[in-house]
Amino acid sequence: MTDFDHLLGDEERIFLDTLARFSAEVLAPQAAATDESGAFVHAQLAALAETGMMGANLPERWGGAEISAHALFEAVATVAGGCGSTVSALTAHFLATDSLLIGGDDALRARLLPAAAEGRLLGAFGLTEPNAGSDPADMRTRATREGDGWRIKGRKCFISNGGVADFIVVYCVTDPAAGHRGISAFVVEKGTPGLTPGRVEQTMGLRGGHVWELDLDVLVPEANRLGAEGTGFRTAMQVLDNGRVEVAAMAVGIARAALAAARDWTKSRIIGGAPLASRQGIQWMLADMATELSAAELLGHEAARQRQAHQRFTTAASKAKLFATEAAGRIADAALQIHGGYGYTRDFPLERHARDLRIMRIYEGSSEIQRNIIAGRLLA
């Protein structure tokens, strides 16, 4: 139960209860070993597919669960509370399927989305490049017409799922003179000649949710283009609005786990004959953590409300992502502090939570980019 159950339907509550049990009984017990080994979360995603979560962002028409934006926020948070690596791979998959849902035609959707919703296909979102991170309009990857298809040449980096995905939605320049209006999107499928994954990046956290550099010199058919030429940038920005709400949910989920661990520790840890929870200084730390978490949840659900109402929710998504990711970092750090030296060891999950959360302030638009977006809308 959360403070947001009143926003959910009966079937959504049942779905979330099932997901909570799965997260606690399947994901959480494996999370430390996954982090230690650095193995990609293939097994976790396969098991997660059985719950219906791989298609939670999609409508029933395309094989999805068709849950509300509020339920999706809580579902992502629930998975995150169990395993950061798993939720990272899951939400990268959502970015790919959202790209198809927003920008693709029905033929492309019908070919890929039902299988993706069932977990038979894994997607990746190919936007970031070595010289085009915060500003996608600077991308260098080019697509030029060749015969009946398109030749795509370039390099992408930090692509979650990139080396194992069954399909990658690749954003590239089709008209260099048109700025962001010259960006288009294409599906590049696994096994396409000229698609060459580099090494897995050795990351600080989310060590089972791998990111790759991708070299591309591929020929794809016309049918693999998402929508009309020049619509890729608009599609990517809409996808990132969705993704930023999901990053906020990821941060909330891990922050909930960190706060719960800290609360339980203060009740069981006896110092000087009394539990830590009896000390006012500790109580104030917990109170601040709980207050920040509630604020992050409220901002996330406000963005979800606007998304559900089909309003333009760019600013709300940026506010939710900015606040939740920064607050979650503070919450995890305070939870580690409360655990003392034990929190700094790998015998407890706090140091993993702190590492997993650190990237949240960077990817899908850094905190600085979110501040630019918020200020730009405020001053417009």
* Residues catalogued as catalytic: 364
Residue 160 vs residues 18, 78, 99, 319, 342: alpha-carbon distances, Å: 26, 20, 15, 24, 31
Q: Give the single-character DSSP code of 201.
A: P
DSSP secondary structure of 44-89: HHHHHHTTTGGGTTS-GGGT-----HHHHHHHHHHHHHH-HHHHHH
Within 8 A by CB and 6+ apart from 135, the residues are none
Contact 267, 277 (CB under 8 A): yes
Q: Cα separation of 121 and 168, whole Å?
A: 11
Exposed / middle / buried, residue 308 (Cβ in 10 Å: 0-12, 13-18, 19+): middle
Q: Cα separation of 65 and 57, whole Å?
A: 7
